[in-house]
Structure 1
Amino acid sequence: MTEITAASKKKDTSILGKNPVLLVIDVQHDFMDSDGAVPCPATSVSGPQEVIQNVHRLVNAAKISKIPTIFTREIHRPSMIDMGRELDGDEPRHCLDETKGPVIMEGLGADKLEENQYLVPKRRYSAFIGTDLTFLLNAFKADTLVLTGAATNVCVHYTGADAHQYDYRIKVVEEATAGTSPEAHNAALQALEYLQHGALVHMDEVVEAMKAFKRPKE
């Protein structure tokens, strides 16, 4: 990022709101591996591996503070009957069931969910389309969604845009996202910041906010 940087922002002491939820969006082999179907090498850090490490830090911090974590997983039938218009652009077929592609990266805990952790399969870029995400968010009384994952310019962007239109506060952890190209990654981050001033946040401030988080008494 050049024009808008999370590090340059004044610290927001209410960054997580009253009822935050961490969204780990499609941190899967087809996006995070260099030989994946839709690799996402463009990051604001050293590369996808550091993004995965940062996501892991956030998952751990959320677990300690009992902040709900939702892993989303894009997955399609091998016949691709449920892929819709996803192949009309630059993307090849991806995240086909019974392949390694849709598997969430090992070590994040999505294969063995713990308390306050949930998995939401999805067929479209936005995690809101055709899923039970809104049911979970309503149950949590969520007001703030902390966005991480891939691709910054695709599923993170469209999930963030829909969250905005559903009136959630969005916080996009810049160092915990990966895009398909530097230009697309940066443009998506700026587009989300355009929707909500203060949407872009810095990794360390989010971890510290999670450590200090105390859910308000009802």
Structure 2
Amino acid sequence: MPKEALLIIDYTNDFVDDNGNLTVGKPGQVLVDYIVDLAEQFRSSGNEVILPTDLHEENNPYHPETKLFPPHNLKDTWGREFYGSLNDWYKQHATEKNVYMFDKTRYSSFAGTDLDLYLRERKIDTIHLVGVCTEICVLHTAVSAYNLNYNIIVHEQGVAGLSQAGHDFALSHFKNSMDITIK
């Protein structure tokens, strides 16, 4: 029987906290309870909770984001830790078999990772997306998932963007160009 998975994309201090290096700020901070509650619902029902998390190397001359954004989500830094109560939730459940955190180095959670294989091995055909940034990593993950024929649900109460205009564009694009369910 096909299962579902929750992807919590890049919900780290650097992207959400006021002191983060590339923060969405308050719009991202208000998501924390919704995201943690959803993670617990998925985990306790036996579905997968997957945390694809940006990982960068400072001043990497080969990575395109180096010239676009300030250093963020650097290995072993406070900025790469999960934001707020998600950090505590993750520490409590990190060793469980249906909780999977992995590094990603591109916008899409599928680019250069084993995510597609991981999902297919577990017969997962529907993915739920939450996290940040709506118009960057959430969008690129959704496009990749769409091209791989996954059913996609984006939780509007669980995503935030760097700008309201970008956030609104991404939600409209999900609905009107990819027929993604907005919940």
**Is TM-score (shorter-chain normalized) higher than 0.5?**
yes
**Cα distance in 2 for residues equivalent to 1:79 and 1:186:** 31
Post-superposition shift, 1:77?
2.2
**Cα distance in 2 for residues equivalent to 1:195 and 1:121:** 28
Post-superposition shift, 1:198?
4.7
**Cα distance in 2 for residues equivalent to 1:56 and 1:134:** 24
2:90 to 103, 110, 113: 110
**Cα distance in 2 for residues equivalent to 1:153 and 1:110:** 25
Query: What's the secondary structure of 1:53's corresponding residue?
Result: helix
State the partner residue of 1:5.
none
Q: State whether residues 28 and 102 of structure 1, in contact with CA within 8 Å, keep that contact through their aligned partners in structure 2.
A: yes
**Which aligned pairs between 1:27-176 and structure 2 lie closer than 5 A?**
27-41=11-25, 47-81=27-61, 84-89=63-68, 91-108=69-86, 109-111=89-91, 112-113=93-94, 114-176=96-158
In the alignment, residue 65 of structure 2 is paired with which amino acid? E
**Cα distance in 2 for residues equivalent to 1:123 and 1:31:** 15
In the alignment, residue 31 of structure 1 is paired with which amino acid? F
Provide the identity percentage: 30
Query: What's the secondary structure of 1:87's corresponding residue?
Result: helix
Query: What's the secondary structure of 2:90's corresponding residue?
Result: coil
Deviations along 1:188-211, whole A, 9 cap, x unmatched?
A: 11111123335211xxxxxxxxxx
Post-superposition shift, 1:48?
2.3
Post-superposition shift, 1:185?
0.8
Query: What's the secondary structure of 1:143's corresponding residue?
Result: strand
Q: Which runs of 5+ in 1 are unaligned?
A: 1-16, 202-218
Instruction: Answer with 1 or 2: which has the greater Rg.
Output: 1
Q: Which runs of 5+ in 2 are unaligned?
A: none
**Cα distance in 1 for residues equivalent to 2:83 and 2:155:** 18
Q: Give RMSD over aligned pairs.
A: 1.8
When you count helix as a share of all residues, which structure comes out higher?
2
In the alignment, residue 173 of structure 2 is paired with which amino acid? A
In the TM superposition, structure 1's runs of 4+ consecutive aligned residues that sit over 4 Å from their partners are: none
Q: Indicate the larger mover: 114-123 or 166-175.
A: 114-123
State the partner residue of 2:165.
183
**Cα distance in 2 for residues equivalent to 1:160 and 1:198:** 9
Post-superposition shift, 1:81?
4.8
Q: Structure 1 length as normaliser, TM-score?
A: 0.76
Q: Structure 2 length as normaliser, TM-score?
A: 0.90
Q: State whether residues 59 and 66 of structure 2, in contact with CA within 8 Å, keep that contact through their aligned partners in structure 1.
A: no
Structure 2 vs 1, CA of residues 157 and 198 (structure 1 numbering), >3 Å: closer, same or farther? closer
In the alignment, residue 120 of structure 2 is paired with which amino acid? N
Post-superposition shift, 1:50?
2.2
